Amino acid sequence: MKPERLHLLISGQVQGVGYRASLQREAVARHVSGWVRNLRDGRVEALVCGSAFALESLLDWARQGPPGARVDDIDCRPTTEPPPADFTIRPTA
């Protein structure tokens, strides 16, 4: 079965609270590859690639985030971006 790929735009209080590092840790624990980065407008952007079950579990976590985060919305769309081999934190865009 081919892995699914999703592009996420996460808004709320998601910068300065360890959201990127926590998302990376949670993704690796679920065998999800991809990347995450801050955007200059205050949102967090991510590409996540994995099984439907793993992505559903990761999205459940992402809706809450780490302690101190407040997630107001996640814009979640399928993407055709090539899946990376691991999960990295990218520089702010």
| pLDDT tier, 2 (very low <50, low <70, confident <90, very high otherwise) | low
Tokens of 46: 């991510």
**Residue 90 a catalytic site member:** no
Catalytic residue selected from 20, 30, 63, 77: 20
Residues with Cβ within 8 Å of residue 65, at least 6 apart in sequence = 10, 12, 14, 17, 19, 22, 23, 71
State the burial class of residue 73 (Cβ atoms within 10 Å of its Cβ: 0-12, 13-18, 19+).
exposed
Tell me what pLDDT residue 83 has: 83
Among the options 5, 30, 38, 43, which is catalytic? Answer: 38
Q: Is residue 70 among the annotated active site residues?
A: no
Please choose, from the candidates 17, 64, 59, 66, the residue with its C-alpha nearest in 3D space to the C-alpha of residue 38: 17
Range of the domain at 48: 4-89
CATH number, domain of 71, equals 3.30.70.100
Count: domains in the chain: 1
Question: pTM (2 decimals)?
Answer: 0.94
